[in-house]
Amino acid sequence: MAKPKSAITPTRSENFPEWYQQVVRAADLAENSETRGCMVIKPWGFAIWEAIQRDLDQRFKATGHQNAYFPLLIPLSYLEKEAEHAEGFATECAVVTHHRLEAEKDPETGKTKMVPRGKLAEPYVIRPTSETIIGAAFSRWTESYRDLPLLINQWANVMRWEMRPRLFLRTAEFLWQEGHTAHETREEALEETHMIHQLYADTLRDLLAIPVIMGEKTEAERFPGAESTLTVEAMVQDKKAIQAGTSHYLGQNFAKAQNITFVDRDNKEQHVHTTSWGVSTRLVGTLIMAHSDDDGLVLPPRIAPQQIVIIPVTPKEDSRDAIIEACQALATRLREQTYGKENLRVKVDTRDLGGGVKKWEWVKKGVPLRIEIGPRDLQERKICLQRRDQAANEKAFIEKEEFLRDVVETLDSVHQNLLERARNFRDENISECSDLADFEKHWEESNANPGWLITPWAGSRAEEEELSKRLKISIRCLPSEKQDESEQPCILSGQATKARAIWGRSY
């Protein structure tokens, strides 16, 4: 079967946003729903999310956190208790105002329609995030310092009324985990915030092969109501930024609003210090944009729903049974091995389809390793190996026993190759800038995807917001990793500063 110019059209260089949509479609990950702004996550896409969920869940539990579940509907009065927090989400809230529907005939058309009845005494907000409702529970659970810390995680869906939806990246309803913790002291809460921040960075590196820049958000970009927001920022292939996860130190703001108090070691009543943190199905979109190519999805092995697909090549009917039997036997031996603490996920594709059709389906779905076994391979006890991190037509013929011996090392090589490729791309597209004229020129419309800039920064919130709005950029973070610590003049005010800011365009 002749290979087209590329399996995905348009290509990344021709139209990156449309390329992204076509990769999602070709890999059969998700589709738009009849509910505006919402998506249906299909089995292949949901399996990727489940792999992310499994890994994170183990990491959370290993650090002492427990899973719980809280209501989807939040009384409006709870949000009113924390005005700054509520204001930050107000334009995105979906509100439930009635509790039943009644059938009513339209006098003009005669058609029956359903009309909301039974107005609620107090409206409910469909959770945009759960600080307020979980805080109410924490206030019931906390009496003494002996009840602390509370380390709770919730796997749930949330709703934020998105006006310009894009599958996985921005949808009105999405899936996530949200951690919420309460602590005796500020120091313990800050330690939790930083620990989760590092956990997210490790997960993106080790599971998704995505390198991130760790840092703190500015006041203008901070989570509503938080004292500090830590972020992990990923660069994708159009050089834009994606906020891949955040960890917030909330201080005592929510504790005071929700009256979360405890009696301390000196028998005095105190308010707890709280944190919250989360990642969402946006990680799937980040993954697609970070690694995929013009032939479709590219998956790091640890999150691939199928890590290895074996395709029997049966040009002659009389050899079909023997080849399929050999493929099944190889799959059985592979499934006995583990990678990332899980048994290898292996599929033998015995569908009555042409080999080229099967190959391109699995290429577009991003399967890390594809194996073909035909009559000659069977006779010579070899396999034809193709890696998704390499060109689609690149192949190697190797001894079957050699492949069985080295398969875990091969999968790890795919992961490391994707990670190194993404890290090199990111580093090549971050530049230092200390001149305002050069800074503004960098973001000209003719240079729509110019990469990130790192600058000296001592500007105010108002100055940051004006610059961001005018140039359609934002400070992604004040990086945690040590930079040049010499004092340099702020790019805007000229004030001497050791602080550095990373600027970019984002999703």
CATH number for the domain harbouring residue 480: 3.30.110.30
435 and 412 assigned to the same domain:
no
Sheet holding 369-373, edge to edge: 346-348, 308-312, 369-373, 382-387, 396-399
163 and 41 assigned to the same domain:
yes
Buried b (16+ CB within 10 A) or exposed e, 185-223: eeebbbebbbebbebbbebbbbbbbbbbbbbbbbeebbb
195 and 282 assigned to the same domain:
yes
Question: Within a domain: residue 119?
Answer: no
Tokens 């709870």 belong to residue: 78
What residue numbers bound the domain in which 466 lies? 430-504
Buried b (16+ CB within 10 A) or exposed e, 243-269: bbbbbbbbbbbbbebbebbbeeeeeee
Q: Indicate the number of domains in the chain.
A: 3
56 and 173 assigned to the same domain:
yes
Give the list of residues 6+ apart from residue 52 with CB closer than 8 angstroms, or none: 203, 207, 208, 279, 283, 284, 303
Question: Within a domain: residue 1?
Answer: no
Q: Which positions of the chain have pLDDT values less than 70? A: 1-4, 85, 446, 483
454 and 381 assigned to the same domain:
no
Within a 13 Å sphere around the CA of 100, how many CA atoms are in the beta-carbon half?
5
**Angle at CA 279, nearest 5°, toward 231 and 169?**
95
Question: Within a domain: residue 351?
Answer: yes
Residue 503's beta-bridge partner residues?
Answer: 453, 475
**Angle at CA 67, nearest 5°, toward 157 and 84?**
55
348 and 470 assigned to the same domain:
no
CATH number for the domain harbouring residue 400: 3.40.50.800
CA-CA distance, 151 to 286, in Å (whole number)? 28
436 and 421 assigned to the same domain:
no
Tokens 């989570």 belong to residue: 223
Classified as helix, coil or strand, 199 is helix
Written as six digits, the tokens of 5 are 């110019």
Residue 7: DSSP 8-state: S
Question: Within a domain: residue 260?
Answer: yes
CA-CA distance, 136 to 254, in Å (whole number)? 10
CATH number for the domain harbouring residue 199: 3.30.930.10
Give the list of residues 6+ apart from residue 51 with CB closer than 8 angstroms, or none: 207, 302, 303, 304, 305
Give the length of the chain: 507
Question: Within a domain: residue 70?
Answer: yes
CA-CA distance, 409 to 178, in Å (whole number)? 34
CA-CA distance, 274 to 189, in Å (whole number)? 6
178 and 255 assigned to the same domain:
yes
Residue 30's beta-bridge partner residues?
Answer: 41
* 305-328 per-position pLDDT tens digit: 999 999 999 888 878 899 999 999
230 and 245 assigned to the same domain:
yes
Ramachandran angles phi, psi of 109, nearest 5°: -100, -20
Q: Taking the CB of residue 425, how many other CB atoms lie within 10 A of it?
A: 16
410 and 454 assigned to the same domain:
no
403 within 8 A of 387, measured Cβ to Cβ? no
Whose CA is closest to 206, among 336, 424, 67, 59? 59
260 and 313 assigned to the same domain:
no
Question: Within a domain: residue 120?
Answer: no
Beta strands 346-348 and 308-312 are parallel
Classified as helix, coil or strand, 505 is coil
Q: What's residue 3's pLDDT? A: 45
Ramachandran angles phi, psi of 92, nearest 5°: -105, 0
Written as six digits, the tokens of 51 are 């792999």
Classified as helix, coil or strand, 338 is strand
189 within 8 A of 288, measured Cβ to Cβ? no
* 265-283 per-position pLDDT tens digit: 999 999 999 999 999 999 9
> Where on the phi/psi map is residue 263: left (φ > 0), alpha (ψ -120 to 50), or beta?
beta
437 and 419 assigned to the same domain:
no
pTM equals 0.95
Question: Within a domain: residue 376?
Answer: yes
Written as six digits, the tokens of 110 are 């005669």
Q: What's residue 496's pLDDT? A: 95
* 388-412 per-position pLDDT tens digit: 999 999 999 999 999 999 999 999 9
Within a 13 Å sphere around the CA of 159, how many CA atoms are in the beta-carbon half?
17
Question: Within a domain: residue 115?
Answer: no
Q: What's residue 364's pLDDT? A: 98
Give the list of residues 6+ apart from residue 352 with CB closer than 8 angstroms, or none: none
437 within 8 A of 367, measured Cβ to Cβ? no
Q: What's residue 448's pLDDT? A: 74
Whose CA is closest to 415, among 315, 503, 328, 287? 287
